[in-house]
Amino acid sequence: MAAKLQPCGNFSPTAAPHGCYRCKGADQWCVIAIQSEDEWMRFCDIAGHREWLTDHRFSEPAARVAYRQELDYWIGEWTAKYTPHQVMMLLQREGIAAAAAANGRGSIPRSAPARARLRARSFPSANRLGDARRAVRAHDRSTVSRRAARRTSPARTTKRC
């Protein structure tokens, strides 16, 4: 009988640190994945915690995995001082896998005039394929060329959703 696979979230059974960490700001996160001893040494230098290299809980890969909750706590303390993009840039510059986690904020403009330029548009091909959900996308009306706008007569102009 085959072993049943269990979800492990951001945890890696062979690498630590390997997860999503809170950063400076409301609901701001970054992801970090350290795979080698060389990356771990560079990370400790960047984080300003060279003592982690000699700490029995974090000095070896297997120990880091075993003490991952403590390690995640300390890394979270470090990442909380920086924005996700700052963490990403600091680590990527040194060849360490890191990324700012997207949360959707900033995708929709905050100002009313900018939001007014957005409109939903349906795609008939999605409906033909039997997709019950209506495919929509944001479209910025300001990208319509002036020439195309002049060709449209006021009598034929209709409001589209």
Whether residue 75 is contained in a domain is answered as: yes
Q: Which are the contacts of 114, defined by CB distance < 8 A and separation ≥ 6?
A: none
Whether residue 85 is found in the same domain as residue 120: no
Look up the CATH number of the domain holding residue 53.
3.30.1540.10
Whether residue 45 is found in the same domain as residue 67: yes
Tens digits of residue pLDDT in 64-116: 888 888 999 999 999 999 999 999 999 999 999 999 988 766 556 666 666 66
Burial class (CB in 10 A: 0-12, 13-18, 19+), 97: middle
CB 142 within 8 A of CB 109: no
Averaged pLDDT, 6-29: 78
CA dist 118 and 59 (Å) reads: 52
Whether residue 5 is contained in a domain is answered as: no
* Residue 73 DSSP symbol: H
CA dist 132 and 105 (Å) reads: 27
Residue 102 has what pLDDT? 81
Whether residue 1 is contained in a domain is answered as: no
* Residue 119, SS3 per DSSP: strand
Question: How many domains are contained in the chain?
Answer: 2
Whether residue 158 is contained in a domain is answered as: no
Confidence of residue 144 (pLDDT cuts 50, 70, 90): very low
Residue 158 has what pLDDT? 46
Whether residue 130 is found in the same domain as residue 68: no
This prediction's pTM: 0.60
In which domain, by residue range, is 63 found?
A: 18-100
